[in-house]
């Protein structure tokens, strides 16, 4: 410990420069002009690259849909979300690069913004990609069986609309890229904590306009988590590669947390309208889905994966043969969505499992009974779903029986009864989930109609590769096509290989660095979609088995027996019939290197095997759009009890049981770690984490103070249980298990909350604010005289922040008036001000530094004075813009003489956006108060021409943010 080899720990090449990214404070705007001169003039800055520079030397990223929605590594012509990269500054060190980024002056022409996907598809919505013609980029309809007939014949139709929120699982290590352009062979050598899928490697190479062999991508030995998200480092790999080429030096970039939370990626939010055709007894005969998935501003490959990853498994654990589905892909002014653990599963199951609860309620049946009546029966595996998934194995009834057994369900029911008798709010939830493992690389082609697929040729499979090498003294080393994220893959692989060769796991050296120039890899490489157990682990098994067989043949010759008689154990190779007849593994293996003459005729010398595994079950989509989306299908059944605090509406998970069937467990301890990690992430989506935008597209969750990751204090105890129905499709019988609780836990808790509060619609995350608003309605206005903090977001068109105040300054109105209109004195008055220049007598431009909490940066303030009533009143309006955010507002100031002094009354209203808006309201308020105080203190000093004047700001408590602070923000 302490000797990690994470990407940011790796020593950089000599002469490495550092990059900082300039990001858009606007959710949607045209880029009018980028002035880089000030940044370039800063000592230590080497270069600034803009979208136009990038456009000339690279191509836009390939995307899955054939649609004109180009995206380069930097915004070109237009920005489409807050945080979008607009330029990069390359400098001697990171501090100077960030200073330089503050000095890049970008002029924007703001455009209307659309955040809600339902609004994005309306006729009058602003269109993000005008060439695409609409924000709905794809709408595909699918029909399996005869859903119309089933609905017509149904006893009843039960319907629901659910919305899965935006969230991300924010690995603790942010993105890191070190790119080095090698002029000699026009190639790029990049070290990055990218985690696959490596199907994106060709996308990067194409953008860089080089063949794949000239983009060498190296992944370091350690990674600080990914959960799918590190895929999205790829635009920055291209960006830093281009930067290195332009400056002729290696370029390093380390993303910071604020950048990560605003621009890395998030899971897509999805609005699902779901309907079930049901019989009296709760049997569901058909389902209809209308999925509207919001991918944010761009559709990065391999999006829209989440919408199709579960396609074959849309009917979940249920035997439902009729299904209709409409899948819509929508873009809005939010950060682009991409891979996040769970990948389409949480969205699907929130709809399906909430609906199953509704079916029970509307038919007045027991929810668990409704689940049970619809389950696929244990005798029907392998089971082909109506949408084409081939469920390998399972016994869902047994899993549920065990989970509820031994009094577990009775205990929950007793807790609920007791709580309800005492008038407390307590609810029980269930969730039943089929967890896919190892994605079929062809599933995404289902988005294209069959005739298009025909033309393009079939896409399918998922290739895993592992190399096992035995050296001349018999030591064993392994490389694999996966990247490390801490799932204990090395441990599991060494166990698999050691078992085959009769060695100890510690004898096996595993190197999970990945180098696209030297290692065996295919497009499925990387660590995501639970591909380890059903994929890479199998390839390791195959490679080790091939080594074992070869060593057995070599040994048979030396030991005068036949290969079938050879066994391995305790570091030896020996005859089964006569265990004394044997030799050390190392000795026999060494033969392959030292003594080719002793090799059996059937074998070549040397001892190195690459195991390649691509399961035949992963077929391309059929002409009827049936697709086996994954190789293995595990099962999860969760149940929980929650209690809701009547005073705060905080949800507390009282008891949680999670039952898993992941086939054969390769390593129970590692499995438990995966499941617990996923559980906390599911809990986070249910109750805490959300990426929030206001209606103007300003991000409101830009630090870990707003984006609430659960800590040890928030995590309830969880009982984990297992049954094992081995997969017949993987040699080890193992299935994926690392994502199940990301899928089951949000909806299990939502169901429990619905039960506790008798809700039909449960908003996620079910925060106290949301539940309060649902149960108690919006909060009433406070009694007169009591402050009311205004929420950060306001209705569109209104100023988000308003306030007023008054202050007494020891100077005459004339002196104050003069000070306020004089650029030189303003410079001294405005806290954090670097310069003020008068554009016209009534129009100023000021450069100021502003700091709120962890955010600090330089802004340009444009201030216009109007309604001038000399020495009495003025209206100030204008805007403030900088790399960290923007604000627009106006205020009114009146001056009233008061024996020897002047009372200044002010009111203001302001909209803020960009990174600044993403820090908490409390922090902004505090900063604003300090700045107001300083502003008037200094005004008093300057106007009275002396120090020591005792001005005291005494704004009414209702001010949440100060307009003055936005305009004249200070940092000290």
9 binds other proteins (CB under 8 A): yes
* Helix ranges restricted to H, 901-920: none
Under 8 Å between Cβ of 885 and 694 = no
Q: Which is nearer to ligand FES, 225 or 728 (CB)?
A: 225
Q: Going residue by residue from 156 to 195, which x/- string records binding to other proteins, judged by CB under 8 A?
A: -------------xxxxxx---------------------
613 binds, among ligand FES, other proteins, none (CB under 5 to 8 A by kind): none
Q: Which stretch binds other proteins (CB under 8 A): 3-11, 204-212, 643-651, 757-765?
A: 3-11
Q: Which is nearer to other proteins, 663 or 677 (CB)?
A: 677
Backbone angles phi, psi at 639, to 5 degrees: -145, 150
Q: Which is nearer to other proteins, 712 or 786 (CB)?
A: 712
| Residue 60, helix vs strand vs coil | coil
Give the whole-angstrom CA distance, residue 662 versus residue 672: 11
Residues that bind ligand FES (CB under 6 A): 172, 225, 486
Give the whole-angstrom CA distance, residue 950 versus residue 938: 10
628 binds, among other proteins, ligand FES, none (CB under 5 to 8 A by kind): none
Under 8 Å between Cβ of 957 and 806 = no
Q: Going residue by residue from 93 to 132, which x/- string records binding to other proteins, judged by CB under 8 A?
A: -xx-------------------------------------
For 580, other C-beta atoms within 10 Å of its C-beta total: 6
393 binds other proteins (CB under 8 A): no
Q: Which stretch binds other proteins (CB under 8 A): 395-403, 712-720, 799-807, 838-846?
A: 712-720
Residue whose entry in the numeric block shows the structure tokens 């003294």 = 473
Q: Which is nearer to other proteins, 223 or 269 (CB)?
A: 223
Residue 370 CB contacts under 8 Å (≥ 6 apart), including other chains: 282, 356, 359, 360, 363
For 197, half-sphere exposure in the C-beta direction (CA atoms, 13 angstrom radius) is 24
256 binds, among other proteins, ligand FES, none (CB under 5 to 8 A by kind): other proteins
597 binds, among ligand FES, other proteins, none (CB under 5 to 8 A by kind): none
Under 8 Å between Cβ of 815 and 946 = no
Instruction: Give the containing element (helix H, strand E) for 342.
Output: none
Under 8 Å between Cβ of 476 and 495 = no
Q: Which is nearer to other proteins, 287 or 512 (CB)?
A: 512
Spatial strand order in the sheet of 17-23: 45-50, 85-91, 17-23, 251-254, 176-182, 187-192, 215-219, 514-515
Q: Looking at the chain, how many residues does it have?
A: 972
Q: Going residue by residue from 433 to 472, which x/- string records binding to other proteins, judged by CB under 8 A?
A: ----------------------------------------
Backbone angles phi, psi at 297, to 5 degrees: -80, -30
When binding is defined by CB under 8 A, the residue of 2, 379, 457, 777 that contacts other proteins is: 2
818 binds, among ligand FES, other proteins, none (CB under 5 to 8 A by kind): none
Min dist CB 685 to other proteins, Å, is 13
Min dist CB 172 to ligand FES, Å, is 4
Give the whole-angstrom CA distance, residue 492 versus residue 510: 10
798 binds other proteins (CB under 8 A): no
Q: Quick one: CA dihedral 625, 626, 631, 636, positive or negative?
A: positive
End-to-end CA distance of the chain: 39
1 binds, among other proteins, ligand FES, none (CB under 5 to 8 A by kind): other proteins
Residue whose entry in the numeric block shows the structure tokens 């986070």 = 684
Using CB under 8 A as the binding rule, the residues of this chain from 525 to 564 that contact other proteins are none
Min dist CB 224 to other proteins, Å, is 3
Min dist CB 488 to other proteins, Å, is 7
Q: Which stretch binds other proteins (CB under 8 A): 117-125, 210-218, 370-378, 702-710?
A: 702-710
713 binds other proteins (CB under 8 A): yes
When binding is defined by CB under 8 A, the residue of 246, 472, 584, 705 that contacts other proteins is: 705
Using CB under 8 A as the binding rule, the residues of this chain from 643 to 672 that contact other proteins are 669-670, 672
Q: Which is nearer to ligand FES, 492 or 826 (CB)?
A: 492
Q: What six digits make up the tokens of 264?
A: 């890395």
Residues paired with residue 470 on neighbouring β-strands, in sequence order: 476
Give the whole-angstrom CA distance, residue 178 versus residue 195: 15
Q: Which is nearer to ligand FES, 221 or 829 (CB)?
A: 221
Under 8 Å between Cβ of 816 and 832 = no
Q: Which is nearer to ligand FES, 486 or 710 (CB)?
A: 486
String of b and e for 97-125 (b: at least 16 CB within 10 Å)?
Answer: bbbbbbbbbbebebbebbbbbeebbeeeb
Under 8 Å between Cβ of 361 and 373 = no
Give the whole-angstrom CA distance, residue 255 versus residue 21: 9
Q: Which residue is nearest to ligand FES (CB)?
A: 172
472 binds, among ligand FES, other proteins, none (CB under 5 to 8 A by kind): none
Give the whole-angstrom CA distance, residue 239 versus residue 523: 22
Instruction: Give the containing element (helix H, strand E) for 238.
Output: helix 234-247
When binding is defined by CB under 8 A, the residue of 212, 378, 486, 605 that contacts other proteins is: 486
227 binds, among other proteins, ligand FES, none (CB under 5 to 8 A by kind): other proteins
String of b and e for 684-700 (b: at least 16 CB within 10 Å)?
Answer: bbbbbbbbbbbbbbbbb
Instruction: Give the containing element (helix H, strand E) for 822.
Output: none
When binding is defined by CB under 8 A, the residue of 146, 256, 507, 567 that contacts other proteins is: 256
8 binds other proteins (CB under 8 A): yes
Which among 104, 47, 34, 89 is positioned nearest to 253, based on CA atoms?
Answer: 89
21 binds other proteins (CB under 8 A): no
Q: Which is nearer to other proteins, 594 or 704 (CB)?
A: 704
Q: Which stretch binds other proteins (CB under 8 A): 221-229, 233-241, 789-797, 835-843?
A: 221-229
Min dist CB 198 to other proteins, Å, is 20
The greatest distance separating any two alpha carbons of the chain, rounded to the nearest whole angstrom, comes to: 116
396 binds, among other proteins, ligand FES, none (CB under 5 to 8 A by kind): none
Which among 527, 459, 462, 465 is positioned nearest to 729, based on CA atoms?
Answer: 462
786 binds, among other proteins, ligand FES, none (CB under 5 to 8 A by kind): none
Q: Which is nearer to other proteins, 222 or 690 (CB)?
A: 222
Using CB under 8 A as the binding rule, the residues of this chain from 719 to 758 that contact other proteins are none
When binding is defined by CB under 8 A, the residue of 590, 677, 831, 883 that contacts other proteins is: 677
Under 8 Å between Cβ of 620 and 632 = no
Min dist CB 171 to ligand FES, Å, is 7
Min dist CB 678 to other proteins, Å, is 8
Q: Quick one: CA dihedral 551, 537, 487, 716, positive or negative?
A: negative
DSSP 580: T
483 binds other proteins (CB under 8 A): no
| Residue 544, helix vs strand vs coil | helix
When binding is defined by CB under 8 A, the residue of 718, 756, 846, 904 that contacts other proteins is: 718
4 binds other proteins (CB under 8 A): yes
When binding is defined by CB under 8 A, the residue of 91, 191, 258, 386 that contacts other proteins is: 258
Residue 957 buriedness (CB in 10 A; 0-12 / 13-18 / 19+) = middle
Residue whose entry in the numeric block shows the structure tokens 């094992």 = 724
Min dist CB 139 to ligand FES, Å, is 39
Binding residues for other proteins, per CB under 8 A? 1-4, 6, 8-9, 94-95, 169-174, 222-225, 227, 256-258, 484-488, 669-670, 672-673, 675-681, 703-705, 709, 711-713, 715, 718, 853-854
């Amino acid at each position: 410990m302490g000797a990690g080899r994470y990407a940011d720990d790796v020593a950089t090449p000599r002469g490495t420069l550092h990059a900082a990214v300039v990001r858009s404070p606007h959710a949607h705007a045209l880029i009018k002009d980028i002035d880089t001169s000030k940044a370039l003039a800063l000592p230590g800055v080497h270069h600034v690259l803009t979208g136009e520079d990038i456009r000339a030397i690279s191509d836009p990223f390939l995307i899955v849909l054939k649609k004109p929605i180009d995206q380069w590594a930097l915004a070109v012509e237009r920005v489409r979300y807050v945080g979008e990269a607009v330029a990069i500054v390359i400098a001697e060190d990171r501090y100077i690069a960030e200073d330089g980024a503050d000095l890049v002056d970008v002029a924007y022409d703001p455009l209307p913004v659309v955040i809600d996907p339902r609004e994005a598809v309306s006729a009058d919505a602003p269109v993000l990609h005008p060439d695409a013609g609409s924000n709905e980029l794809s709408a595909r309809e699918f029909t399996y069986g005869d859903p119309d007939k089933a609905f017509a014949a149904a006893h009843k139709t039960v319907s629901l609309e659910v919305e899965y929120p935006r969230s991300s699982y924010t690995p603790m290590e942010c993105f890191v890229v070190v790119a080095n352009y090698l002029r000699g062979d026009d190639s790029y050598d990049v070290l990055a904590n990218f985690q696959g899928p490596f199907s994106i490697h060709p996308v990067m190479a194409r953008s860089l306009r080089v063949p794949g062999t000239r983009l060498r991508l190296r992944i370091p030995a350690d990674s600080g988590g990914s959960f799918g998200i590190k895929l999205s480092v790829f635009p920055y790999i291209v960006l830093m590669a281009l930067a290195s080429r332009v400056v002729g030096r290696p370029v390093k970039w380390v993303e910071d947390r604020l950048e990560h939370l605003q621009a890395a990626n998030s899971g897509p939010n999805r609005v699902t309208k779901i309907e079930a055709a049901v019989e009296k007894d709760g049997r569901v005969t058909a389902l209809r889905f209308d999925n509207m998935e919001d991918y944010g501003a761009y559709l990065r490959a391999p999006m829209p994966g989440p919408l199709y990853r579960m396609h074959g498994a849309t009917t979940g654990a249920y035997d439902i043969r009729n299904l209709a589905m409409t899948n819509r892909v929508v873009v809005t002014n939010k950060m682009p969505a991409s891979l996040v653990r769970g990948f389409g599963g949480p969205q699907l199951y929130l709809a399906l499992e909430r609906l199953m609860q509704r079916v029970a309620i509307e038919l007045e049946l027991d929810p668990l009974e409704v689940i049970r009546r619809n389950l696929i029966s244990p005798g029907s595996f392998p089971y082909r779903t109506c949408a084409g998934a081939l469920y390998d194995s399972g016994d869902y009834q047994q899993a549920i029986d065990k989970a509820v057994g031994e009094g577990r369900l009775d205990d929950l029911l007793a807790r609920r009864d007791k709580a309800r008798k005492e008038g407390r709010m307590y609810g029980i939830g269930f969730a039943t989930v089929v967890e896919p493992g190892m994605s079929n690389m062809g599933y995404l082609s289902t988005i294209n109609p069959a005739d298009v697929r025909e033309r393009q040729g079939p896409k399918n499979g998922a290739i895993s590769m592992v190399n096992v090498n035995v050296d001349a003294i018999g030591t064993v080393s392994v490389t694999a096509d996966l990247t490390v994220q801490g799932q204990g893959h090395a441990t599991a692989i060494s166990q698999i290989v050691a078992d085959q060769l009769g060695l100890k796991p510690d004898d096996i050296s595993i190197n999970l660095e990945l180098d696209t120039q030297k290692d065996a890899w295919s497009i499925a490489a990387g660590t995501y979609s639970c591909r380890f157990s059903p994929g890479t682990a199998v390839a390791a098994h195959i490679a080790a088995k091939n080594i074992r067989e070869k060593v057995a043949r070599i040994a048979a010759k030396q030991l005068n027996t036949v290969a079938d008689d050879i066994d391995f154990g305790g570091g030896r190779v020996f005859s089964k019939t006569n265990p004394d007849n044997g030799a050390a593994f190392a000795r026999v293996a060494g033969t392959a290197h030292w003594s080719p003459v002793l090799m059996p005729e059937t074998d070549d010398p040397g001892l190195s095997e690459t195991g390649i595994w691509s399961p035949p079950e992963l077929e391309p989509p059929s002409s009827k759009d049936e697709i086996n989306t994954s190789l293995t299908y595990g099962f999860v059944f969760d149940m929980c009890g929650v209690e809701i605090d009547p005073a705060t509406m905080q949800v507390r998970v009282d008891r949680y049981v999670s039952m898993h069937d992941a086939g054969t467990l390769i390593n129970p301890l590692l499995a438990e770690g995966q499941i617990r990690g996923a559980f906390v992430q599911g809990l986070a989506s249910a109750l805490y984490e959300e990426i929030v935008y206001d209606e103007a597209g300003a991000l409101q969750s830009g630090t870990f103070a707003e984006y609430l990751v659960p800590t040890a204090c928030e995590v309830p105890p969880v009982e984990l249980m297992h049954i094992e129905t081995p997969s017949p499709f993987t040699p080890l019988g193992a299935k994926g298990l690392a994502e199940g609780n990301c899928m089951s836990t949000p909806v299990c808790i939502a169901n429990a909350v619905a039960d506790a509060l008798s809700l039909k619609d449960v908003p996620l995350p079910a925060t106290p604010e949301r539940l309060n608003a649902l149960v108690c309605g919006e909060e009433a206005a406070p009694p007169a005289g009591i402050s009311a903090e205004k929420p950060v977001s306001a209705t569109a068109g209104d100023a988000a922040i308003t306030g007023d105040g008054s202050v007494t300054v020891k100077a005459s109105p004339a002196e104050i008036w003069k000070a306020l209109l004089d650029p030189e004195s303003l410079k001294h008055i405005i806290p954090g001000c670097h310069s003020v220049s008068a554009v016209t007598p009534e129009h100023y431009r000021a450069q100021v530094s502003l700091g709120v909490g962890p955010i600090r940066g330089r802004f340009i303030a444009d201030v216009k004075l109007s309604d001038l009533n000399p020495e009495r009143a003025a209206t100030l309006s204008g805007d403030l813009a900088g790399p960290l955010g923007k604000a627009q507002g106006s205020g009114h100031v009146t001056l009233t003489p008061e024996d020897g002094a002047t009372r200044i009354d002010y009111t203001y209203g302001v909209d803020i956006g960009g990174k600044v808006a993403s820090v908490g309201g409390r922090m902004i308020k505090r900063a604003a108060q300090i700045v107001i105080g300083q502003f008037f203190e200094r005004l008093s000093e300057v106007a009275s021409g002396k120090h020591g004047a005792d001005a005291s700001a005494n704004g009414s408590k209702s001010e949440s943010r100060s307009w003055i602070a936005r305009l004249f923000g200070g940092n000290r």
